[in-house]
Every structure is written in C-alpha cells, then in structure tokens.
Structure 1
Amino acid sequence: MTHPAVSDRRTAHIAWRHHGHAGDTGVPPALLLLHGFTDSAACWEPVVPALAGYGCIVATDARGHGDSGLPEGPVGPRQHAADQALVLDDLGVSEPVVVIGHSMGALTAVALAATRPDLVAALVLEDPPPYGMGGRPRGVPAWLAGLRSLDLAGRVAHAREHEPAWSEAELPPWALSKGQIDPRYCERDVTLLDPLHDLAADVRCDTLLVYGDADRGGMVTDADADAFRKAAAGTVTAVRVPGAGHSVRRDAADAYLRAVRAFLDAVRSRRPR
C-alpha cells in the first residue's frame, strides 16, 4: 500500500489534513473525507493508504472536533457543509471531488452535494442517520462522558475490549478524538435536515450507500436504502455489509474497501479524459 505524506493545515476555524505524495502538498484533493460525531480527521488514517491511488486526499476536523474551533451559533449538517465548502474554495479546486462521509459526516456530504453541487463529483455515505440529527438531547452523552473520564490508554483498552473486530490501527485515533471534542458542541442548537430519502431528490451525483445490520447498531435499514435509491435524482448503489454495525469501515474493513474502491473505479472510468 502507498503511504501518503501528511500535511496539517487550517482554513479559518477548520483544521484539516492533506494526504499526498511528496511534493503534492499544493495539489487540490480528489477525495474529501468527513468523520462522524466525536471522531476526527485522524480517524480516517487507517483507510487512507488504500485510497491513495485515487489522488490527493483532504480529511477535515468538523467544527468543535479534533483541532477545529467552534464558532458561535447552531451546529448541524448545513453548518458543517458550509465549512467544507470554505475549505474547498480556499484550496481553489478546479474539479469536483468525491466526498466520503461517515454518520454525521455522511449527512454533511449530502448537504454539501445539495447546496454546492459544483464541488461534489460523487458521494460515499457510510451509515448516515436516515432521519437527520434530530432527537439529540443537550449535554455530553453519558457514554462520551464515561470515555472522557478515562486517560488515552484507558480509552484504547475500552475500544479493544468492546470492539474486537477493529484493527489495532483504528484504536489510537478513535480514543484520542474522544478527548478532543469540545463539550460545548453538545450544548448547541442543532439545525436539522429533512429525512435522508427526502433529500435524495437534491442529490444529482452518483452515490454509494454503505450500511450494516440494524441489530448490530446500524442506522440504515434495507427499507431506508430502498427509499433513498428510489427518490434520488442520481444513481445510487446500496451495499449492505452483513455483520457490520454503524462503523462499517471499522467492523468490516475489507468489505467496506471493496465496495468503495469498486465505486471509485466506476466513477473514474466515467470521467472525461
């Protein structure tokens, strides 16, 4: 596998990482990676080498996560999407990028595709919450508070015990991110999106929807995937990964990467040369 060089950058309040070959640090990205709630850009590093052949990669820390700041005002997919547009505009991208998002990051990806279609060539959505971010109570969730009460080694040990299917490479960035999130994020008002299948009509690019099993914690059901596929303006490929839960790429990395790489190969084959 190729191991791209990493360069840490910042645009306004958003911290981001550029993964590329030596000398590529000024090259616009082909892929934009958006993490889920309480994760960070570093949580993508275990899969970056497998995606390096598709071009330079940018992974951002969502506002209030990782090393990013937390501006005043509400949070939610629309605010996060505006942050991603800010980064891509700052980079001066001349070609739309493939946006890969997990959970909260997948909703951000959908919002970005709907509001700035000029920036998005295709979407990869990993188990997005079908009904947006509604219903989240204010305050730091008890499970997150429990993790934040542990030191980094304790959080790594917790993940190793409770997520035995995850590779060792997944554990340190996951554990670190839980200590980085700004707890004030959990107190903010949330700007909601419509249900995922209602948003599909505004998504005109090709989309890969990857999801796991509901009985293992997956949020997307077969019915949700079918509704999204039928409503989408663009072509949707839905792949359920048996045995995986909400974090498909961690629970079943090989199956996740097979689906994503096949989709990226298809997208690349259709691009004009």
Structure 2
Amino acid sequence: MRLDEVDGLRIATFGTGPRMIIAVHGITASLMAWGTVGRRLPEGWSLVAMDLRGRGHSAALPGPYGPPRHAEDVLRVADHVGAGPDTVLTGHSMGAYVAVLAAAKRDFARVVLVDGGIPFPPLPEGVDAEAALAATLGPALARLRQTYPTAEAYVDFFKGHPAFAGHWTDDIEAYVRYDLTGPEGALRSRAVGEAVLEDGRWLNTRQDEAGAALEAVKAPLFLLRAPRGLLNQDVGMLPDDLTAPWTARLPGLRDEVLPDCNHYTIMFDDRCAATVVDRLTSPA
C-alpha cells in the first residue's frame, strides 16, 4: 500500500497495475475498508482508495460535508491519479451513493455499488432525519462519542460487534487500528461526528437527487448486495422491495446478492471480497 495526499485528502494505492479502480468507503469508515479487496487484485490492476473529508487521515478537512461534496473530492482524486475512461469506480455503503453522484458527472468504464447506492424510501411522516439516522447507525454514532483507554480496548469493542463476531480477520484489525487517534487513555475514532450527521441527513432527505444521479449514470452499473444488515440482522440494508423498482427502471443495472454475508463482511470476508474483485475487474 502506497500513501499520498491530494489537497489534504489521504489516498492509498493497492497494487501496481495500469488498470485502475477508484474506491469510496462508507459513512463512518476509512480507506482501509478496501484492504481485503485491494490485496486480492489480479495482476495488471491497482485500486486507489481515499479517506473522505471528516474521516481517517482526511478528518481535519472542513465541511461542508455531504455526498455531493465527497463526489467533488472523488473527481479531484481521479484527476490527480490520471484516471481515464477505462477506470472503474466503486463505493461501499454511503460510498456507493458518492460514486453514483461522481459517475453522473463523468464517464467511467463501469460503476460497482457495494451494498449501497439505491435511494432510501422517504421518511415516515413525523420522523426527522437524525432520528432515522440514530435508528440505523446507533452503535456507530455512540462509538464516535466514546473514548477508549487503549487500542486493544477499541479492538475488543469491534470484536464484540454483531457484524464482526466470528468473522475477525487481520484486515479488520488493521481497519480498526487505523481509525484511532488521540492520547493514550483517551483514544477515539478519527471520524468527525458532524460529518457523519451531515452525510446521514443528506441520505435520508435527498432521495430525489440520489435517484436522478442514478438515472444519469451512463456507465454499466453493477449492484452487489449483502442479505444481512449492519448488525448482522436478517434484513439487509437494501432488501428486494427497495431494489426491485430500480432494477425495473434501469434495465442495465445488474443486481446480485452475495450469499452468507452482512453489510461489513461483504468487504472483509475473503470469499465475498473475491466476488467483489471479480465484478470490478472481469470484462462486463
């Protein structure tokens, strides 16, 4: 993994090949979410992942946040690394929505959405965006408000997370340790709470913009879904009844459910990551 910086944005490159993938992480994650995918790349490929502003080693970059701002940053990174029309764009979770917004403005060879990118339904009457976000991301938001006495305590917190229990890998541990900052005795996540809340509000209130961008993408679109959710619950983040109208509306959207994974293990489980790599690099 090679590290670089673009206007304050931390980027990392996995692999050394001339064929390029640009990858975007989720709402409380970092570029290390792509570690398992990055180390499985076939010869001839490289993957450029970035820490979005307000996360990882880009945490100090100021707002405004929101997926449209992140999409601008993605295109800035694409320019910096010399991404051409044969470049693949991908995003996981919130990163998939960012990828859609970026691909609506620039052509890519293909766009691969990993458990994200399909607009959420409108909020029920009387439910505000922050309440909806708390219901979805409650444990993650609580983590951002906590401090931890040691790095090992933070690792133990993640080992007890329902999505990771029984699925722990060295890549997950590297992802967790990368996220830590602060002095010993008061370590905390690098993710900025304000950034997470602003991004979450956009996802829960700007569904029309997300849908318009999805319809504007000209590149071949691939959707990879996890059948289980963020907390390993039985219903995934993108259930069939949410995605079916979009697969009907966009005949070119290829929808695939990867069996036996949840919202996180779709990125970290070797079997699931191998499928993600294949869909990123195999001819359409």
Q: How many residue pairs align between the two structures? A: 253
Please name the residue that 1:15 is paired with: 10
2:194 is equivalent to residue 176 of structure 1: no
Q: 1:69 to 1:91 in 2, by over 3 A?
A: same
Which residue is 2:160 aligned to? Answer: 161
- CA-to-partner distance for each residue in 1:137-194, whole Å, 9 max, x for gaps? 6998224324x43532112122223312242321231343262223442464754542
Q: In structure 2, what residue type is equivalent to 1:223?
A: D
Normalised by the length of structure 2, the TM-score is 0.76
More relative contact order, 1 or 2 (CA 8 Å, 6+ apart): 2
TM-score (structure 1 length as normaliser): 0.79
Q: CA deviation at 1:67?
A: 0.8
- The CA deviation at 1:32 is 0.8
- Give the Cα–Cα distance (whole angstroms) in 2 for the partners of residues 150 and 217 of structure 1: 34
Alignment gaps of 5+ in structure 2: 124-128, 135-139, 181-188
Inter-CA distance 152–113: structure 2 relative to 1 (3 Å threshold): same
Q: CA 1:69/1:256 → structure 2, altered by over 3 Å: closer, same or farther? A: closer
CA separation of 1:18 and 1:240: change in aligned 2, threshold 3 A: same
Matched, 1:222 2:240: yes
Cα distance in structure 2, aligned partners of 1:262 and 1:184: 34
Local SS of the residue matching 1:89: helix
User: Which residue, out of 163, 172, 194, partners 2:207?
Assistant: 194
Quote the Cα distance in structure 1 between the aligned partners of 2:177 and 2:266. 16
- Counterpart check, 1:43 vs 2:33: yes
1:94–1:245 CA distance, 2 compared to 1 (3 A):
closer
Is the contact made by 2:22 and 2:89 (CA closer than 8 Å) also made in structure 1?
yes
Distance (Å, rounded) in 1 between the aligned partners of 2:197 and 2:282: 41
Computed over aligned residues only, the root mean square deviation of the Cα atoms, in angstroms, reads: 3.0
Letter in 1 for 2:272: A
Output the amino acid matched with 1:181.
Answer: A
**1:101·1:126 contact (CA, 8 Å) conserved in 2?**
yes
In 2, the alpha carbon distance for the partners of 1:73 and 1:255 equals 34
